[in-house]
C-alpha cells in the first residue's frame, strides 16, 4: 500500500522557487529520511504534505486516494471533507514541539482523540497511559509541559501524534531544538517506532541516525531531489553534490 504519494510538486514564495518538480512516494512500513542543507525546501515539502502549506502545482494522494490533483498546471484541492479524512491519516511532530501549555501531559494526548475522533474516553486514556509508559513518562501524566525538559516535551508530542493512530508519522527536524544528549533520547524513540514498522518521513540533520534508521534517504538541494536511494548507496555516492554535502558530515565525524 502506498501511504503517501506526492508528484510534480511545485512551490514558490514570491519569486523564490523553493520546490521544483518534486516526487516522493512512501510505502507502508517504510522509513524515509529527507536530508539537505537549510533552505533546500525539505521542510516546505513536509508542510505541503501535511496541508500547512499549499502547493502551486502537483498531486497528492493518501492511501492511494487523490486529495490534490493538477488541473491545467494548477493544484486543485479536494473538498474540505476529503482533506479532513486525509489529515486523519497522518501525524506530525514539530521541531519545537508545539504542545498545548495549558493542558497537562495526559490532556495533551487525549483531547484530540476524544474531541475530534469522538472516541471512547476511558479507552483513549488507557491507550495514552500505555504510550506514556512506552515513552518513559508514566510519572509525568499530570505535569504541565513547562515542567518538562525539551526531550520529555518532544516525547509527549510524539505520544500525542501517535494517540490519533496515524498510518504515517512526519517528523520536522524533531531534534533541532535539543542538545546532543536529549537528541539521542528522541532518536531512540524513533528507532523503536521504526522497529515496530511505523511508516515515517523524517526531515533531519542527524546523518548517522538517517543512515541507521532509513529504508530510503532523499537528498534535497535548492528545491530539487539530487538523489533518492538506500543509505548504503547514498553514503558511497559518486554524485559531486552529495559528496560535498556528506563530506561535511564525514569531516565532523573525524573531529569527534
**Segment contacting another protein by CB under 8 A, of 11-19, 140-148, 225-233, 242-250:** 140-148
* One residue of 13, 73, 76, 100 binding another protein per CB under 8 A: 100
Q: Which residues contact 225 (CB under 8 A, 6 or more apart)?
A: 22, 23, 24, 218, 219
* One residue of 82, 87, 125, 184 binding another protein per CB under 8 A: 87
Q: What are phi and psi of 9, to 5 degrees?
A: -75, 125
- In order, the DSSP letters of 45-64 are HHHHHTTSS--SEEEEEETT
State the binding string over 149-168 for another protein (x if CB under 8 A, else -). -----------xx--x----
CB of 256 to another protein, least distance (A): 33
* One residue of 12, 65, 73, 84 binding another protein per CB under 8 A: 84
CB 7 within 8 A of CB 21: no
For residue 63, state whether it binds another protein (rule: CB under 8 A). Answer: no
Q: What are phi and psi of 207, to 5 degrees?
A: -65, -45
Q: Which residues contact 41 (CB under 8 A, 6 or more apart)?
A: 11, 18, 19, 22, 220, 222, 223
**Segment contacting another protein by CB under 8 A, of 56-64, 70-78, 89-97, 129-137:** 89-97
For residue 78, state whether it binds another protein (rule: CB under 8 A). Answer: no
Residue with cell 486529495: 67
* One residue of 2, 65, 102, 121 binding another protein per CB under 8 A: 102
Helix (H, G, I), strand (E, B) or coil at 141: coil
Angle between helices 121-134 and 105-115 (to 10 degrees): 140
CB 224 within 8 A of CB 22: yes
For residue 115, state whether it binds another protein (rule: CB under 8 A). Answer: yes
By CB under 8 A, what part of segment 174-233 binds another protein? none
For residue 88, state whether it binds another protein (rule: CB under 8 A). Answer: yes
For residue 52, state whether it binds another protein (rule: CB under 8 A). Answer: yes
Point out which residues bind another protein (CB under 8 A): 50-52, 84, 87-88, 90-92, 94, 96, 98-102, 111-112, 115-117, 144-146, 160-161, 164
Amino acid at each position: 500500500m502506498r501511504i503517501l504519494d506526492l508528484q510534480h510538486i511545485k512551490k514558490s514564495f514570491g519569486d523564490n522557487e523553493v520546490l521544483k518538480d518534486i516526487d516522493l512516494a512512501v510505502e507502508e512500513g517504510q522509513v524515509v529520511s529527507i536530508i539537505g542543507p537549510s533552505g533546500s525546501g525539505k521542510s516546505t515539502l513536509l508542510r505541503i504534505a501535511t496541508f500547512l502549506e499549499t502547493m502551486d502545482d502537483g498531486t497528492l494522494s493518501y492511501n492511494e486516494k487523490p486529495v490534490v490533483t493538477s488541473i491545467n498546471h494548477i493544484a486543485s484541492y479536494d473538498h474540505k471533507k476529503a482533506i479532513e479524512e486525509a489529515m486523519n491519516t497522518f501525524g506530525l511532530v514539530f521541531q519545537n514541539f508545539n504542545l498545548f501549555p495549558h493542558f497537562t501531559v495526559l490532556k495533551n494526548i487525549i483531547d484530540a482523540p476524544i474531541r475530534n475522533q469522538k472516541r471512547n474516553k476511558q479507552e483513549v486514556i488507557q491507550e495514552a497511559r500505555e504510550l506514556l509508559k512506552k515513552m518513559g513518562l508514566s510519572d509525568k501524566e499530570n505535569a504541565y509541559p513547562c515542567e518538562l525538559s525539551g526531550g520529555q516535551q518532544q516525547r509527549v508530542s510524539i505520544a500525542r501524534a501517535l494517540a490519533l493512530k496515524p498510518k504515517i508519522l512526519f517528523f520536522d527536524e524533531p531534534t533541532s531544538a535539543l542538545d546532543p544528549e536529549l537528541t539521542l533520547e528522541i532518536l531512540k524513540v524513533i528507532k523503536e517506532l521504526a522497529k515496530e514498522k511505523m511508516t515515517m518521513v523524517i526531515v533531519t540533520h542527524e546523518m548517522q541516525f538517517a543512515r541507521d534508521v532509513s529504508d530510503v534517504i532523499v537528498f534535497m538541494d535548492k528545491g530539487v531531489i539530487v538523489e533518492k536511494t538506500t543509505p548504503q548507496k547514498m553514503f558511497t555516492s559518486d554524485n559531486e553534490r552529495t559528496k560535498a554535502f556528506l563530506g561535511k558530515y564525514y569531516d565532523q565525524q573525524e573531529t569527534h
